[in-house]
Amino acid sequence: MYKGLKSTFFLCVGIFLLISFSSSNSGELKFLVTYNGQPLVLNDTLLDEDSNQFTISAFRFYVGEIKLFYNEFEVGYDSNYHLIDIEKPQSQSLIFNTDKPLKFNKVEFVLGVDSATSNSGAMGGDLDPTKGMYWTWNSGYINFKLEGRHAKCYSRNKEFAYHLGGYASPFATAVAVRVPVKNGEVSFELSDFVNELQFNAEPRVMSPGIRAKSLSKTAATCFK
């Protein structure tokens, strides 16, 4: 009788572990935003490299066509476009459901919305125009949006706005990014981007063009 109970006990434990193991077959990819290595907090006072004060009131960007790699082997793929919005922490975590435990150490994705998707017209989900990230059919999506105030801005209320987008040649702004991943996390170091901005001379970039394309390439290098 004792042996029977013992066998039943181990059988139940085995089933429990199997169910637990099976239900955890997913991978989580987190997009973190930092400023000088510290988590970005909207509307907090920050200092640029010249010790000028500024604040960030909004920061959003699109990522899509995400591929996860373990070394050089692709282990996960998501063709959707996701809006990473610092105001909504839940948007910074993407879940990949798989039929086996997912282990990855590199990620490849598109920063912005590619031309094929833009040409197909506005869509639902994170690509819905109500998200505030869509211009018009001929300009497409705003791939990257940064807004705030800076002490050196000559604009009204010291406000700045960098809305980077455009899908038509020669000013297409979607950029491929490939970076290592540690503990399922990718960080965007905002200070690297801010250091390339000219708040006093150019507080706004609001349409497709050479500057939007150049800043988009800079943004792609800020992922760590």
Distance of CA 202 to the CA centre of its chain: 25
pLDDT at 100: 73
Residue 27 and residue 99 in contact, taking contact as beta carbons nearer than 8 Å: no
Residue-by-residue DSSP string for 47-90: E-TT--EEEEEEEEEEEEEEEEEETTEEEEEEEEEEEEETT-GG
pLDDT at 16: 37
How many Å apart are CA 216 and CA 12, to the nearest integer?
55
Q: 98 pLDDT exceeds 60?
A: yes
For the record, the structure tokens of 187 come out as 């960080």
Give the global pTM: 0.86
Residue 127 and residue 113 in contact, taking contact as beta carbons nearer than 8 Å: yes
Lowest average pLDDT, out of 46-60, 70-84, 115-129, 158-172, goes to: 115-129
Q: 171 pLDDT exceeds 80?
A: yes
Per-residue pLDDT band at 5 (split at 50, 70, 90):
very low
Per-residue pLDDT band at 78 (split at 50, 70, 90):
very high
